[in-house]
Amino acid sequence: MYRGQSGMWSWLLHRVTGVAILLFLLVHIVDITILGFGPTVYNNALTVFSYPFVRVVSLGLIAAVLYHSFNGLRITLVDFWPKGARYQQQMFYGVLAVTAIGFLAMGYFIMLPVFQGCHAHLCG
Amino acid sequence: MAATRASVYAKPAAGATGFETFSWYFFRITGLLLIFLAIIHLVIMHVSNDVSTTSYQFVANRYANPFWRVYDLLLLTLALLHGMNGLRVIVDDYVRGRGWRLAWMSFLGVVTAAFWLTGTLTIVSFHAGNAPLGTFFHALLHLK
């Protein structure tokens, strides 16, 4: 285990985001089987993704994937980069910063139709 | 648990073998690949397109190119194995009884196989205009 308090939080967040992403993946594997019912059924089901609430759920997924990705890279650096263990805490703050920047950039595009007043078919 | 058992966290000794050693490397190698596979997938589906416009026709255009089927198969396989192996580690941490551990591991194995088969069938069998599941359930509903 990594020393210090940030080590515990990075570990806990890694585990929680990992389980959340896995649950989403299992749901996603089931939801894409709707393709097998043809275009009408699939396109009707797709309208679910235009609801603002579902967009907010997408934001959660994006945040989880970004954190888990960058923290996974941090763990790998601790293991393989000779100075990794010494800089693990600084790298944790770096992970949080890059996650936040990526989240704001991607989140902006996901919520854009809502910011623009939800016209057309983009908001259900 | 034996004290000598390989850890999920500590780097295995050079030349170490066994499942936990394999698992340790597997997490890191698939993790590095998944950073690219998953984030590019999210950018395509949520940024360069709005997810609400990724219609049946969008999938048909995309899957006309075998590259994206291979891409999605790789993403499905690596993400599912990486994630289910992570869940295995969590079960390993919290479930103590021998019987319960065996039951959990068997359950995780069955879930992994079932979801991998389901996802793979969707990706491989997709053919624009065909609705195998629609045809199947339609036939089922009309059985006398």
Contact A86, A3 (CB under 8 A): no
Q: How far is CA B34 from the centre of its chain?
A: 11
Q: How confident is the model at residue A51 (pLDDT cuts 50, 70, 90)?
A: confident
Question: What per-residue confidence (pLDDT) applies to A39?
Answer: 94
Helix H, strand E, coil C: the string for chain B is CCCCCCCCCCCCCCCCCCHHHHHHHHHHHHHHHHHHHHHHHHHHHHHHCCHHHCCHHHHHHHHCCHHHHHHHHHHHHHHHHHHHHHHHHHHHHHCCCHHHHHHHHHHHHHHHHHHHHHHHHHHHHCCCCCCHHHHHHHHHHCCC
Q: Give pTM, 2 decimals.
A: 0.90
Dihedral sign (CA B115, A10, A66, A87) = negative
Nearest to B83 among A18, A35, A122 (CB): A18
The pLDDT of A14-35, averaged and rounded, is 97
Put simply, the answer to whether B39 touches A65 (Cβ < 8 Å) is: yes
ipTM confidence: 0.89
Chain B contact set for A69 (CB, 8 A): 31, 34-35, 38-39
What digits encode the pLDDT tens for the residues A73-85?
999 999 999 998 8
* Contact between residue B31 and residue A76 where contact means Cβ atoms under 8 Å apart: yes
Q: Is the pLDDT of residue A37 over 60?
A: yes
Q: Any CB–CB contact under 8 A between B18 and chain A?
A: no
Residue type present at position B117: L
Where does the pLDDT of residue A116 fall: very low under 50, low under 70, confident under 90, or very high at 90 and above?
Answer: confident
Nearest Cα neighbor of A19 from B127, B110, B88, B67 is B88
A122 confidence band (pLDDT: 50, 70, 90) = low
Residue A120 has a pLDDT of: 54
Q: Write the residue in B9, B51, B133 that is nearest to A36 by C-beta.
A: B133
**Per residue of chain B (144 residues), what is the pLDDT tens digit?**
444 456 777 888 888 888 999 999 999 999 999 999 999 999 999 999 999 899 999 999 999 999 999 999 999 999 999 999 999 999 999 999 999 999 999 999 999 999 999 999 999 999 988 888 888 888 888 876
